């Protein structure tokens, strides 16, 4: 997956949870790449995730399932006006 072609998402979660989330997402070959890069906005921590081109819907479905087991708050796309800065 080329970073230039990937969609960028920001997931609100904790440093502890991002390891669990990364392990699950990594099981889906080529779906997404979880980074340890983070931003803090309004007291919330957001971690950066690159999602493969054309896989955004599958990624969002996986996150919906992950929310049942992991502490995931807001999920923002980098192109949204509300993306963390």
Q: What is the pLDDT of residue 55?
A: 96
Domain 7-77 carries which CATH code?
Answer: 3.30.70
Indicate the average pLDDT of the chain.
Answer: 89
**pLDDT of 30-51, one tens digit each?**
999 999 899 999 999 999 999 9
**pLDDT of 55-68, one tens digit each?**
999 999 999 999 99
Instruction: Please indicate whether residue 44 or residue 82 has the higher confidence score (pLDDT).
Output: 44
Cα–Cα dist 29/19, whole Å: 17
Give the number of other Cβ atoms within 10 Å of residue 81's Cβ: 5
**DSSP H helical ranges for the chain:** 15-26, 56-66
Domain edges within the chain:
7-77
């Amino acid at each position: 997956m080329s970073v230039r072609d990937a969609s960028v998402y920001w997931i609100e979660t904790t440093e502890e949870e991002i390891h669990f989330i990364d392990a699950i997402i990594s099981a889906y070959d080529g779906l997404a790449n979880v980074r340890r890069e983070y931003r803090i906005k309004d007291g919330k921590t957001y971690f950066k995730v690159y999602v493969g081109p054309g896989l955004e819907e599958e990624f969002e479905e996986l996150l919906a399932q992950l929310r049942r087991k992991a502490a995931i708050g807001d999920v923002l796309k980098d192109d949204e006006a509300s993306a963390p800065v």
